[in-house]
Structure 1
Amino acid sequence: MAAREYGQYCGVTQALELVGERWALLIVRDLLVGPRRYGELAEGLPRIPSNILAARLKELQAAGILRRAPRSRVVVYELTPYGRELEPVVLALGAWGFKAMGDPRDEQVVTPDSMTMALRTAFRPAVAAELPATSYAARLGAAELLVRVDGARLDVSRGDGPVDLSFAAGPGIRRLISGELAPDRAISTGVVEVLHGRGDLLARFATTFHLAA
């Protein structure tokens, strides 16, 4: 029996044998944002050893979770339909883990892909459907994201575009999303800096993106 096998006939056991190895779900998390080249995956997971990344990619490909695909003379990794079925699992894990998050340690980083998935996790489509369409430029640490909300539809991407509110925030954005800090208080204390647009739209952002801590 291989070391990674648990020797139990169970769906949870089978899932852990497929994606329970260290780094595997973080690779899936980043590929849920979109296809990535090998170097892009390595950049988004700066602590992963190259040999481990290569091994995990081979394992996930063998399991039918991802595939290699040629794109404009380069090879990218993308999730298969079977792999994309992990999205609600990853979002649920993110919401569960959010409850235990404190302030980040100095060595911990925030990446555009991790913040994209965090926003997907916190998004409340039923609430957003009752609000006017709104676009935000969010500078969250080193991650600069264009966040578009139109009814129950959320689109998060990198790049520029017209927005209703542009703001910058550090790790304290967690306190806004959790409801611990009111939007006007977040602005007055400097946790969130309004760069452009109407500051009162931060309340709409906090209503649209919420996770209970």
Structure 2
Amino acid sequence: MKLEKVTKRWYDDACGTALALEFVGERWSLLILRELMFGPRRFGEIRAQLAGISANILTQRLASLEAGGMLVRRTLPSPASVQVYELTPWGQEIEPVMQTMGRWATRSPLHDPTLPMSPASAMLSMRTMIDPVKAGALRMTIGFRVGGDRFLGRLADGVLGITRMEPAGADVVVEADPTPLVVWLYVKRPVAAMEADGVLRIVGDRAAAERFADLFALPPKIMPPAG
């Protein structure tokens, strides 16, 4: 499949930003890449995390991203034998672009961290918003059971690596849906209150969980225009 047959339009502009928009500027494209950031996903798994996308549009966007070299399809070995989509190494390189966009957009007064989000979005948010200075000397493993998904985070040298896998043996495990998780991290609602409401649970080293939560803050909001 040739790229020009799936992009639908070209800007006729040599700027790399224009070409980037040809690759990922259509609605849903970046969010599809976000959902694949932590490992391969089946078609239904991707669609389940993108509220409002139709099967037809998802099929079109996956074909366009595959043609552009950002993802590939493959069949998992037996006994699974199902088709999955996963990012290519070049597709994975879009993560820092997403992080820069995320930091930029969350400065808007319109950003609402209490709105719904997917497990992958919550994981990407943590990798984006962690304070590397505060995290510099802290080493720990932290697991997440979030919205039916499982992740293991490894924090070292100010960097939070996250892999989609069962978090067996982690120092601490956080169990919550994505939105309560980010409310805990950014709104700083106390763990005890969230546990009392049944929306979040800490398993393991609670002090480590509190130290982890302290590593995150949203950037300051932009000032509204004068007048």
Q: Which of 53, 63, 66 is the equivalent residue of 2:68?
A: 63
TM-score of the pair, normalised by structure 2: 0.73
Q: Which of 73, 97, 101 is the equivalent residue of 1:89?
A: 97
Closer, same or farther: CA 158–111 of 1 in aligned 2, 3 Å: farther
Measured after TM superposition, the shift of residue 5 of structure 1 is 2.7
Q: Which amino acid aligns with 1:147?
A: G
Closer, same or farther: CA 126–154 of 1 in aligned 2, 3 Å: farther
TM-score of the pair, normalised by structure 1: 0.77
Aligned-pair identity in percent equals 34
Closer, same or farther: CA 125–69 of 1 in aligned 2, 3 Å: farther
Does the aligned pair in 1 maintain the 2:39–2:164 contact within 8 Å? no
**Stretch deviating more after TM superposition (136-145 or 48-57):** 136-145
**Stretch deviating more after TM superposition (17-26 or 199-208):** 199-208
Measured after TM superposition, the shift of residue 123 of structure 1 is 3.0
Q: Deviations over 1:52-88 (max 9, x none)?
A: 0110111111112212223213332222222222111
Q: Which residue of 1 aligns with 2:107?
A: 99
- Which structure 2 segments of 5+ residues have no match? 221-227
Q: Which residue of 2 aligns with 1:16?
A: 21
Is 2:126 aligned against 1:122?
no
Closer, same or farther: CA 112–193 of 1 in aligned 2, 3 Å: closer
Q: For the residues of structure 2 that align with 1:56 and 1:76, how far apart are their CA atoms? A: 15
Q: Which residue of 2 aligns with 1:186?
A: 190
- Matched positions, count: 205
Q: Which amino acid aligns with 1:43?
A: A
Closer, same or farther: CA 3–144 of 1 in aligned 2, 3 Å: closer
Q: For the residues of structure 1 that align with 2:34 and 2:113, how far apart are their CA atoms? A: 21
- Give the 3-state SS of the residue equivalent to 2:37 in structure 1: helix
Measured after TM superposition, the shift of residue 125 of structure 1 is 4.3
Q: How does 1:118-157 map to 2 (within 5 A)?
A: 118-131=125-138, 133-138=139-144, 145-151=151-157, 152-157=159-164
Q: Deviations over 1:80-122 (max 9, x none)?
A: 22222211101212222333322545xxx33222222112212
Q: For the residues of structure 1 that align with 2:190 and 2:144, how far apart are their CA atoms? A: 14
Closer, same or farther: CA 168–75 of 1 in aligned 2, 3 Å: closer
Q: CA RMSD in A?
A: 3.1
**Stretch deviating more after TM superposition (17-26 or 110-119):** 110-119
